[in-house]
Amino acid sequence: MTDETYDVVIIGAGVAGAAAAYELRDLNVAVVERESFLGGRTYSEQFGEVLWANYGAGYFSSDKGTILSLGDKVDVPFIPFDDTALAGDFVPEGYDKQDIAEIRQVKRRLAKEQSNLRDPASPELDQVTFEAWLGPVRPNVRQYFQYWCSIMSCPMEELSLYGTLLMSGSNRTTAFSDEPVTYDPRGNLVVKGGNGLIAQHLLQASKADVFTNTQVQSVTGTPIDGYLIEAEAETGPVALRAQRVIVTTPTPIVLDILKDLPDWKTAALSSIEYGRIIGMPVVVGSATFNGTPFRPTADYRPDAVYCETEFMLRSPTDLDKDGAYFVSQVHDQSSRVLWDDDDATLRAGVHAAFTAKFPELSDRIMHIGVHRWPYAVAKYTRGRMAATPDLCRPVGGISFAGDYTDVTHTDGAAKSGLRAANEVRAALKEASMI
């Protein structure tokens, strides 16, 4: 154990933890991270000088002002990318005119709901499932919206109307608030070099002590005596002391680490359910690529879905000059089918799907990555918005951040980290500890 007592120990070096550390950069802070990499669900990897792959968060829409301005402050290289696939009213093939007319009608109904500002926790938004709101529709239209809901890793039978509305309209950052939303003039952005650079830059600027490969097992103590954070590192047990703690992990891990929470907190944390995602980015070399192309070494399941994102998004933009990585993911339902398959099988399935769509790129595939996210998306199931105040409320000197306490994306995670940091700062000031 170090003799030092930190002002704050932050558990988790994802966006929420990194944002909190940056906000508290004038204090004595440690960040403890289980993985070897920083960024949590924004994990990315670089391939040579110009190529990278994102395994989690793919891009930042222009309304995500908090994460974008935090990134700008620490010189994160945001760049635009080819986002035409995100624009307009994309309807995949296989739908007839009547299907498309009904899909558009439902979208008009959604837009009307979107423009009717209400408290997110109001029962008509938080307690009604999308399926109940939708009512009977043509089978193809149901299938279309079921696919749409899979983006939130939640079937329409479970997804609340509130969660549905977060996916539609132009206001995904502050749904149901009349605060003006600013849109970044640069448009939708990615990070040149990989989205994980945001957490890396924030943590570097924070000057916090960062412990990677260190898994927190327990936190005990009180706001008066301080807290003991016990963890397991590759080199053996680690123990840190802190006046205050911010926990930013997904909720099942919070419940594992904090054994003596009051019932109201346990109930709120237990109410969050997660959807899984497997991220399987495809990295393609430039037109002059002359390395050995990736070739599958295993069989795959001919009937399984290996890419639900249809390889629609890629970055950077000039495929022939630079090469690119293509976003490729399977969301909750499909990922459960593939979850226990080995990586070679998954790569073979993605390879088959990719070369069927882009046969001309087959000899330029450099790499197909695999990362399983067991806690990919905190689902917007019924009652989540009513639970939000309890999810955010601190317990003694322990504060809670992470995307499940705000909107479930990088901007929500960043906001949650800033909120928890300011909560902790106020508590330390009140106790005359800083």
Residues in contact with ligand FAD by CB under 6 A are 11-17, 32-35, 40-42, 56-60, 215-216, 248-250, 253, 257, 277, 279, 329, 373, 376, 402-403, 408-411, 413
- Least CB distance from residue 135 to ligand FAD, whole Å? 30
In degrees and rounded to multiples of 5, residue 49 shows phi and psi of: -75, -40
Q: Which residues on neighbouring strands pair with residue 377, listed in sequence order?
A: 275
Q: Which is nearer to ligand FAD, 337 or 433 (CB)?
A: 337
Secondary structure tally for the chain: helices H, strands E: 15, 18
Please identify, using beta-carbon distances, which residue of 85 and 134 lies nearer to ligand FAD: 85
**CB-count exposure of residue 337 (10 Å: 0-12, 13-18, 19+):** middle
Min separation Cβ 191 and ligand FAD, Å? 11
Taking the complex as a whole, the smallest distance from the CB of residue 345 to ligand FAD amounts, in Å, to: 19
- Rounded (to 5) percent helix, strand, coil in the chain: 40, 20, 40
Residue 218 Cβ vs ligand FAD, minimum distance, rounded to whole Å? 10
65-73 and 15-23 are packed helices; what angle lies between their axes, rounded to 10 degrees?
60
CB 193 within 8 A of CB 81: no
141 or 149, CB closer to ligand FAD?
A: 149
62 vs 164, which CB is nearer to ligand FAD?
Answer: 62
Comparison of 176 and 400: residue with beta carbon closer to ligand FAD? 400
Q: Please give the span between the terminal C-alpha atoms of the chain, in angstroms, as a whole number.
A: 23
Give 150 or 329: the residue with its C-beta nearer to ligand FAD. Answer: 329
Give me the least distance between CB of 101 and ligand FAD, in Å please: 30
The four Cα atoms 72, 56, 150, 274 give a dihedral, to 10 degrees, of -100
Name the minimum Å distance from CB 59 to ligand FAD.
Answer: 5
Cβ-based neighbour number of residue 418 at 10 Å: 19
Tell me how long the chain is: 434
Give least dist CB 251 to ligand FAD, A.
Answer: 10
Query: What 3-state class would DSSP assign to 138?
Result: coil
Pick between residue 14 and residue 397 the one whose CB is nearest to ligand FAD.
Answer: 14
Q: How far is the CB of 285 from ligand FAD (least distance, A)?
A: 24
What is the DSSP pairing of strand 236-247 with strand 398-400? parallel
Q: Are 44 and 37 in contact (CB under 8 A)?
A: no
| CB neighbourhood size of 218 (10 A) | 13
Residue placing its CB nearer to ligand FAD in the complex, 152 or 319: 152
Q: Measured between alpha carbons, how far is 193 from 325 in angstroms, rounded to an integer?
A: 11
